[in-house]
A and B are shown apart, each in its own frame.
Chain A
Amino acid sequence: NAGVMQNPRHLVRRRGQEARLRCSPMKGHSHVYWYRQLPEEGLKFMVYLQKENIIDESGMPKERFSAEFPKEGPSILRIQQVVRGDSAAYFCASSPRGSDVQSSTDTQYFGPGTRLTVL
Chain B
Amino acid sequence: AQSVTQPDIHITVSEGASLELRCNYSYGATPYLFWYVQSPGQGLQLLLKYFSGDTLVQGIKGFEAEFKRSQSSFNLRKPSVHWSDAAEYFCASTSGTYKYIFGTGTRLKVLA
Contacts and interface: CB of A to CB of B under 8 A. Distances in A.
Interface in B1-55: 4, 6, 32, 34, 36, 41-46, 49, 51
B104 A41 contact: yes
B67 interface: no
Contacts of A59: 99
Contact of B96 (A6, A56, A101): A101
Given A107-B46, A111-B43, A112-B42, A42 B103 contact: yes
B74 interface: no
Given A42-B105, A101-B51, A110-B36, A4 B100 contact: no
B102 A44 contact: yes
User: Which of A4, A48, A101 has the most C-beta atoms of chain B within 10 angstroms of its own C-beta?
Assistant: A101
Interface centre among A100, A110, A111, by most B CB within 10 Å?
A110
B49 to A, nearest CB: 6
A107 B45 CA distance: 11
Interface residues of B, number: 26
B100 A45 contact: yes
Contact of A112 (B41, B51, B99): B41
A99 interface: yes
A61 interface: no
A102 B97 CA distance: 9
A56 B98 contact: yes
B96 A43 contact: no
Given A42-B4, A42-B90, A91-B44, A108 B104 contact: no
Q: Across chains A and B, which 8 residue pairs bring their CB atoms closest together, nearest first? A: A42-B102, A110-B44, A43-B102, A112-B43, A45-B99, A42-B104, A111-B43, A110-B43
28 contacts: A33-B98, A35-B100, A37-B102, A41-B104, A42-B6, A42-B103, A42-B104, A42-B105, A43-B92, A43-B100, A45-B98, A45-B100, A56-B99, A95-B98, A101-B32, A101-B51, A102-B51, A102-B96, A106-B98, A107-B49, A109-B43, A110-B36, A110-B44, A110-B45, A111-B43, A112-B41, A112-B42, A112-B43
